[in-house]
Amino acid sequence: MNNELKTTHEEQFEVVGSSLLVRAPAKINLSLLVAGKRPDGFHDIETIMAKVTRYDEILIEPGEKTGIELICKGPQWAPTGKDNLVYKAAQTLFQTCGKTANLRITLTKNVPAGTGLGSASSDAAATLLGLAKYLQLDFDQQKLNELAAELGSDVPFFLNGPLALCKGKGEKIQKLTENFDFLALLILSDVTISTQKAYVNYRHDQTLYNKLKYLINNYIEENRIDLVVKMCANMLLPSCFALKKSLAELKAKIESLGIRPLCLSGSGSAMFCVLDINDEKRAWSFQQELSMHTDCKSIIVTNNRW
């Protein structure tokens, strides 16, 4: 079966001899509103993101070669060398602090790219945090946030969290302090969607945006993130489904099995169903249904603690 259970809460940093292991969690978008297009061509968004207990791993250790040596391994694909955000994050940090170091960084890729789970952004943030700790750099939170924003819109969230309202391109972080505990069934298909294409294909609906914004802001003020989740509000969904009709068909098929409410994370293609933190039996039942009727991989996770 393509099923996994990942509900243990591990620490982000683990010292292993002379090395430092850093965990980079996946995220899901509990809501995603598009406020409109900016003059620079990007879109302003308002999204509630939550980290979950599915991790990439980054091992930082002394290197035998000059500079940064990046090794990628694991069940999921990742670009190698300078195209990887882990490499770019390390390079950006060294350029900023004016230091050099001979390091080997090994990325174990468990979170698939192109699924809306923020894997590359999380890897970049974990690299910044890990290197700052490993090299004992005197970087404050503001400086790290600035470096993160240079690397990508979602990267600053992964320095903060674990639950936050993100605005602008995603780099403006408002931490949400409510302790919202949940189980989530992550559903991974073989479909991938380009975030860039999803936004290019997006057609703005101002009336819908105003309506969703009003409801979500009220729920946030009432500390009812659970009600936000039940809305499954993702304004990129029509664009994503227009690009990948097979994903729309898959969502309908899964919902026909009684697995609902089923939400799209980010620009997809990962989908998720949020359940009560104590509803593990129901999550297992959903996994069995998926195994019987689809070829999708599923993972049971919980909200992350950090």
Residues in the chain: 306
**Is the CB of residue 60 less than 8 Å from the CB of residue 50?**
no
The answer to whether the CB of 299 falls within 8 A of the CB of 6 is: yes
Report yes or no: 113 and 77 within 8 Å, Cβ to Cβ.
yes
Name the catalytic one among 56, 109, 123, 154.
Answer: 154
Please indicate whether residue 138 is annotated as part of the active site: no
Closest CA to 24 of 138, 109, 134, 104: 109
Handedness of CA 270, 272, 278, 282 (dihedral sign): negative
- 73 catalytic? Reply is no
Query: Do residues 51 and 158 make contact, with C-beta atoms less than 8 angstroms apart?
Result: yes
Question: Could you tell me the CA-to-CA distances from 62 to 18, 86, 105, 117, 143 in Å, in that order?
Answer: 8, 16, 9, 30, 25
Which residues in 73-100 are b (16+ Cβ under 10 Å) and which e?
eeebebeeeeebbbbbbbebbbebbeee
**Cα–Cα distance, 94 to 128 (Å, whole number):** 10
- Is the separation of the CB atoms in 236 and 200 below 8 Å? no
The verdict on whether omega for the bond into residue 79 sits within 30 degrees of 0, i.e. cis, is no
Q: Which residues contact 272 (CB under 8 A, 6 or more apart)?
A: 28, 184, 185, 186, 187, 262, 263, 265
Comparing CA positions, the residue from 146, 180, 185 lying closest to residue 163 is 180
Catalytic residue among 27, 51, 109, 297: 27
Q: In what order do the strands lie in the sheet with 297-302?
A: 3-6, 297-302, 183-188, 271-275, 263-264
Catalytic center residues: 27, 154
